[in-house]
């Protein structure tokens, strides 16, 4: 078993990074070489701006290369919950931004010729308990009528042709998609560089100063100046960007991938070949990979640490979860196990905007694989003075009281959600 992201291990390595020192003066500097930062850099470069990307590791090293490979439309919340919290108008706007995000990726992949196995698969929100299906059905009725007619409510009987495990029904979101995340991020970086963006890998930002409206960023490879800065680091935000650290909770999400499955195993497990997520608070998400592996993930452990030791411990928990949902795969070989950090906000709504001279987009709360490309392009347009299409414009983002970036409270949160799952 490899303790490495399947997406990293099965994708071409981006080879278009700048080799010299980090130096010069740019119209915009992007901090973070994931989907958000690379999409923003591509958009800016296409418009003729002089833009550089600073990535502490290599492109796609963080959440963009460590997720489950889902491009699901819809919110982290139920639509009813979002409407109650945000109001109907903003809830609909944010929901439609997630829809648009999948469209944006599909169009970008086609325009740039990125070979990343993009496919509209549809997503199943699976009811793990009978009462969960009742809640899913209530949400479906409002969602289908007010926002998204491309949804369907499936009964337990309907699911027999979709998934080889007993669930109590599901909502199908037909616009959702999937792709190979490693191939996509490599292709996105190549496209950004082809349009003129300068991409510096292994260039961690260690200090930042702002003088007279201009920024000076110190990195491990030199200093660079910029008129505009976009922070797109999410859960991997460093202490020198303290405003965001006090608002982002980094939570580990862990994933395993089986060996390639046979035709018979796929027919018995995932005949519908969609993206799937269960309804438990500490639930699981899964899909088939392009080479027919089952990619199976979840929180597993409420931890802000993702390294090989932590990932391996979480992988054991995930293997037990896989066997519980798919007993027919209880003894299947696991080829990959990896983890990554998810950038959660307290209310689980994303944030994007401008604060104290810095642009930002982050806080995707588990839905960044689809929203990040779209929001990166939106923020680039805002930096260029184009129409402001930010769905979170003006949305308050208070700091978490007593929090400085180290989520010491995660184990207690995990115990709370485990208790909820037992009684709800």
pLDDT (0 to 100) of residue 418: 66
pLDDT (0 to 100) of residue 147: 95
How far does Cα 238 stand from its chain's mean position? 19
Per the CB < 8 A criterion, the answer to whether 414 and 299 are in contact is: yes
Q: Write out the DSSP string of 113-151.
A: T--S--EE--EEEE-SSHHHHHHHHHHHHHHHHHT-SSE
Tens-level pLDDT at each residue, the chain (424 residues): 999 999 999 999 999 999 999 999 999 999 999 999 999 999 999 999 999 999 999 999 999 999 999 999 888 788 999 999 999 999 999 999 999 999 999 999 999 999 999 999 999 999 999 999 999 999 999 999 999 999 999 999 999 999 999 999 999 999 999 999 999 999 999 999 999 999 999 999 999 999 888 999 999 899 999 999 999 999 999 999 999 999 999 988 899 999 999 999 999 999 999 999 999 877 899 999 999 999 999 875 566 566 777 778 888 999 999 999 999 999 999 999 999 888 999 999 999 999 999 999 999 998 899 999 999 999 999 999 999 999 999 899 999 998 888 876 666 666 655 666 677 6
**Which positions ≥6 away from 310 have C-beta within 8 Å?**
252, 301, 303, 339
DSSP assignment, residue 384?
T
- Global confidence as pTM: 0.95
**Which positions ≥6 away from 210 have C-beta within 8 Å?**
216, 357
CATH 3.90.1200.10 for the 6-383 domain, yes or no:
no
- Candidates 108, 116, 98; CA nearest to 175 is 98
Helix H or strand E encompassing 91: helix 88-112
Pairing between β-strand 222-231 and β-strand 358-362 as defined by DSSP bridges: parallel
Cα 32 from Cα 58, distance rounded (Å): 9
pLDDT (0 to 100) of residue 367: 87
Domains in the chain: boundaries: 6-383
265 φ/ψ angles, rounded to the nearest 5 degrees? -65, -40
pLDDT (0 to 100) of residue 251: 87
pLDDT (0 to 100) of residue 409: 65
Per the CB < 8 A criterion, the answer to whether 88 and 67 are in contact is: no
DSSP assignment, residue 4?
S
């Amino acid at each position: 078993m490899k303790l490495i992201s399947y997406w990293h291990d099965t994708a071409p390595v981006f080879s278009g990074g700048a080799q010299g020192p980090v130096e010069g003066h740019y119209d915009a500097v992007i901090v973070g070489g994931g989907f958000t930062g690379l999409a923003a850099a591509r958009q800016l470069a296409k418009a003729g701006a002089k833009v550089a990307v600073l990535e502490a590791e290599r492109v796609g090293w963080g959440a963009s290369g460590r997720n489950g490979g889902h491009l699901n439309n819809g919110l982290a919340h139920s639509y009813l919950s979002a409407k109650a919290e945000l109001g109907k108008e903003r809830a609909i706007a944010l929901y439609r931004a997630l829809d648009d995000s999948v469209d944006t990726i599909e169009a970008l992949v086609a325009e740039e010729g990125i070979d990343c196995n993009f496919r509209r698969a549809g997503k199943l929100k699976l009811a793990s308990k009978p009462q969960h299906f009742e809640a899913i059905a209530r949400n479906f009725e409002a969602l289908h009528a007010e926002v998204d007619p491309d949804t369907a409510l499936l009964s337990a009987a309907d699911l027999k042709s979709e998934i080889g495990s007993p669930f109590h029904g599901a909502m199908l979101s037909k616009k959702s998609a999937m792709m190979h995340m490693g191939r996509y991020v490599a292709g996105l970086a190549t496209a950004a560089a082809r349009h003129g963006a300068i991409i510096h890998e292994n260039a961690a930002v260690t200090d930042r100063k702002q003088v007279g409206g201009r920024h000076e960023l110190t990195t491990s490879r030199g200093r660079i100046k910029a008129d505009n800065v976009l922070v797109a680091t999410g859960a991997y935000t460093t202490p020198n960007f303290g405003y965001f650290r006090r608002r982002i909770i980094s939570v580990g999400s862990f994933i395993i991938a089986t060996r390639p499955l046979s035709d018979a195993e796929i027919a018995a497990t995932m005949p519908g070949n969609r993206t799937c997520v269960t309804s438990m608070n500490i639930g699981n998400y899964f899909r088939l990979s392009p080479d027919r592996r089952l990619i199976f993930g979840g929180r597993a452990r409420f931890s802000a640490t993702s390294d090989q030791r932590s990932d391996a411990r979480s992988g054991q928990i995930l293997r037990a979860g896989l066997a519980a949902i798919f007993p027919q795969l209880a003894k299947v070989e696991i080829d990959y196990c990896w983890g990554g950090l998810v950038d959660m906000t307290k209310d689980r709504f994303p944030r994007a905007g401008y604060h104290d001279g810095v642009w930002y987009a982050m806080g995707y709360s588990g839905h960044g694989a689809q929203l990040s490309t779209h929001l990166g392009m939106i923020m680039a347009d805002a930096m260029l003075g184009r129409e402001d299409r930010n769905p979170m414009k003006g949305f308050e983002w208070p700091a978490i009281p007593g929090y400085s970036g180290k989520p010491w409270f995660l184990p207690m949160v995990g115990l709370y959600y485990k208790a909820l799952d037992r009684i709800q």
